[in-house]
Structure 1
Amino acid sequence: MIGVLAIQGGFAAHINVLRRLGVPHREVRLPADLAGLQGLIIPGGESTTMLKLLQAFDMKQPLQEFAASGRPILGTCAGAILMAERVTHPEQESLGWIPVTIERNAYGSQRESFQTTQACEAWEMDAFPALFIRAPRFREPRSEVEVLTRLDDHITGVRYKHFTAITYHPELTEDDRFHQAWLTHQVHGAETEPVEQVTT
């Protein structure tokens, strides 16, 4: 069972992908919705609004406990912003799970939305379509953070332990290979190991 955080943003697109792949899934809005999940997807949306709603729904601490349990988490765009240790342009609070800096709106107003392709050698994925919408970019990853995808000299996807974060939206295309690869490599192929509790 895969959960999709459904308090704000583009959660429906991820649910549609999971449905097409035949994966059991559940919308997550309350702490009780996290029970029994094998993994969690945090969608794109508006990261500052998401943080406020997490607080309003008493979800921040349950999410930290879920993260500490070692179960896989995937974040896309705003989800990636929430997962990064440090956020810039401008600075804001985050959940702090991945030791990397993320710069918001990294491509400027001239490139607010564009589609290109990405490739992920670690997951043996040739070019797949990816939509960038007011996308951030990763900077200054620590040595233990694995870079999964790039766009020119920009880091667009990273993996750290059981956390995967990408700055683009494969769920808004008709190609479901990225989600399938995440399920294969991070969910079904992962051993759940508790990690040090993250506090904010």
Structure 2
Amino acid sequence: EIERNSFGRQKDSFEAEVSLDAMEIPSFQGVFIRAPAVVKTGSGVETLGKFNEKIIAVKQGNILATSFHPELTRDVSLHKQFVKMVADSKN
């Protein structure tokens, strides 16, 4: 279950350092634009990261979802972990 615009509307967009320890990414610059937050997870859903106590990254099987836009930074660490996750699921 998600909450739309959990961090505010378009004019409230912001960048913040987030930690995705479950993905071995201790620091990542998250770009939040009309960002949703996960308010409730079902069985089999792993929480990967939180920001201000709100869930901002989840994984279920080989599906990954984030509240922020990782493609808007030059940091490719999240993309590398995603590629590794997909490759591992093939084995």
Contact 1:112 1:135 in 2 (8 A): no
Which of the residues 149, 162, 167 maps onto 2:62? 162
Q: State whether structure 2 residue 90 is matched by structure 1 residue 191.
A: yes
Alignment check: 8 A CA contact 1:137 1:154 kept: yes
Residue 140 (structure 1) aligns with: 40
Separation in structure 1 between the aligned mates of residue 11 and residue 46 of structure 2, nearest angstrom: 26
**1:174: Cα distance to partner?**
1.2
Q: Is the 8 A contact 2:9 2:33 kept in 1?
A: no
TM-score, normalised via structure 1 length: 0.43
- 1:98-122 CA deviation, whole Å, 9 max, x = no partner? xxx0111112248621000122222
TM-score with structure 2 length normalisation?
0.89
How far 1:191 sits from its partner (Å)? 2.9
Partner of 1:117: 17
Q: Which has the larger radius of gyration?
A: 1
Query: Could you tell me how far 1:125 is from its partner in structure 2?
Result: 1.1
Identity of aligned residues (%): 34
- Larger fraction in helix: 1
Distance in 2 (CA, whole Å) between partners of 1:113 and 1:167 is 12
Q: How many residues of Structure 1 are paired with residues of Structure 2 in the alignment? A: 91
Q: Is the 8 A contact 2:10 2:33 kept in 1?
A: no
Higher RCO structure (Cα 8 Å, ≥6 apart): 2
- Partner Cα distance (1:105, 1:120) in 2: 21
Aligned residue type for 1:189: D
Contact 2:10–2:34, Cα closer than 8 Å, also in 1: no
Q: Which has the higher strand share?
A: 2
* Shift of residue 132, structure 1, vs aligned partner: 0.1
> Which consecutive residues of structure 2, in runs of 5 or more, have no partner in the other structure?
none
Over 2 Å off, 4+ runs: 108-112
Structure 1 unaligned residues grouped into runs of 5+: 1-100, 193-200
